[in-house]
Amino acid sequence: AIQMTQSPSSLSASVGDRVTITCRASQVIRNDLHWYQQRPGKAPQLLIYRASSLQSGVPSRFSGSGSGPDFTLTISNLQPEDFATYYCLQDYNFPWTFGQGTKVE
């Protein structure tokens, strides 16, 4: 199975900060990489699909980049509602695999 290694596992940030989260794939996954946000007690929400495409309705302060093996989620100008846990997902090969998550606190 493809391993998705996210870093860091947690980070401390303040409102207005620029935050970068990285996901490294253990093998080639093209751009079959997506980013999700999960707030406590809530279902995850798609932020970025195909590595760099912003999901409709998601604020433009979220952006994704990379083409393998390293992918990056950037949050510019962190807002109070952005304190959450973020996950990457590869759907290039079965079994699809999530990163272990990055908690922004």
Is the separation of the CB atoms in 90 and 97 below 8 Å?
yes
| Binding residue count for other proteins, defined by CB under 8 A | 21
Please report whether residue 45 would count as binding other proteins according to CB under 8 A.
yes
- Which is closer to other proteins, CB of 16 or CB of 94? 94
To other proteins, the closest distance from the beta carbon of 87 in angstroms equals: 5
Strands (E), 1-105: 4-7, 10-11, 19-25, 33-38, 45-49, 53-54, 62-66, 70-75, 85-90, 97-98, 102-104
To other proteins, the closest distance from the beta carbon of 40 in angstroms equals: 11
Please report whether residue 52 would count as binding other proteins according to CB under 8 A.
no
Please report whether residue 94 would count as binding other proteins according to CB under 8 A.
yes
